Every structure is written in C-alpha cells, then in structure tokens.
Amino acid sequence: MRRLVILIGASGAGKTAVAEKLEERPPWAGHTHYFDSIGVPSAREMASYGGGEGWQRWASEEWVKRLAGLESPLELLEGQTRPSFLMPELARHPDLDPTILLLDCSPAVRRHRLAELRGQAELADPRMDAWAAYLRGQADALGLPVIDTTDLTLDEVVAEVESVVGIGDVAGDSL
C-alpha cells in the first residue's frame, strides 16, 4: 500500500516550513509537493471553476489523481484545502493509504508569523482566523490528527508529523 501524507492548515500554521524540512531528507526527498505549485489562477480565471472554492475543489482532486499515479511508496502534499475536497478522490484510489494531518496554531501566533516573520500582514486578519477555525472543525469532526504548532519548534513539529505517519524522528529549529 502506498502512503500519501497531506499536510493542511491555514497560512502561518507551519505547513511549508515542515514540508521543506522533511524534503531535505529520505524518505521525503523528491516526494514532497506544494499545493499551489499546480498554478493558482487569477480571481478572474477562478470564475471558470465557480470561484475560489470551486478551484480549490478541482485542485484538490487533481493533486490526488496526480499523486495516485506515481509509483513511489510515499508522497507528501502540503497546502490549504478542505479535507472534504480530498476525501472523495482519495476514496477512488483504494491502493493509497492516506493521512490527512492538520497543522494549527493560536490566532496570536498565526498573526505574528504572518505579519512579523513573513511580512504578509494582509493575511493576518479575521478571515484567516475563521479559515483556521473551519479547518479545525473539519479535522475534529472527521477525527483527523491535529498538531498544534503554537509552542513547538520546527523540528518538534517535524518529529510529530513523522510520529503520526510512523516514520523517523528529529528535533531543533523554530518555525
């Protein structure tokens, strides 16, 4: 059975930092994918998908199809998407053993990471907090694993991800 690990979460939760750290070493090296690398269309182009939510649904399904077509025993996808968009396509691929894992953090930490560390203050708003709460609600309702990155170093989060997935162990940098 081939493993597919999907890290989801709102901006500032640490998804990309964790994926980049995992990508540095086996078995993740060469098997790490970034949701937005599929190409994020302009708002005008998204209208052809029925808006941003429609595009996100399409991209989620497209990523699962692409990753299901690969031969490797392990693939990692990180990105902002709803578990409910991933699950129907995952169900069409019984040869995959998927783990959808939510990375989350407190609103204060998210705002700090976005505004201060990433210089993206425009993302540190109530809409992002609502998105994070929505994702947390979906994860809780579906019984998905959640890692709260609020008080953890980057290496501690990486170790938690690998523990949930059943691979390796690590510890040291900060998000």
Q: Which residue has the higher pLDDT, 19 or 44?
A: 19
pLDDT > 80? residue 61: yes
CB 103, CB 76: distance < 8 Å: no
Token pair in block for residue 34: 């970034």
Query: Rounded to whole angstroms, how far apart are CA atoms 61 and 157?
Result: 27
pLDDT at 169: 43
pLDDT > 50? residue 174: no
Assigned fold of 2-165: Rossmann fold (3.40.50)
Query: Rounded to whole angstroms, how far apart are CA atoms 85 and 171?
Result: 32
Beta carbons within 8 Å of 41's beta carbon, 6+ residues apart: 48, 49, 55
CB 18, CB 105: distance < 8 Å: no
Mean pLDDT within 140-167 = 96
**Comparing C-alpha atoms, which of 70, 79, 85, 65 is closest to residue 33?**
79
Q: Where are the domains of the chain?
A: 2-165
Residue matched to tokens 């996808």 = 77
Find the DSSP H helices in the chain. Answer: 15-23, 43-46, 52-68, 83-91, 107-111, 126-142, 154-165
| Pairing state between β 146-148 and 96-104 | parallel
What pLDDT, in 10s, does the model give residues 81-134?
999 999 999 999 999 999 999 999 999 999 999 999 999 999 999 999 999 999
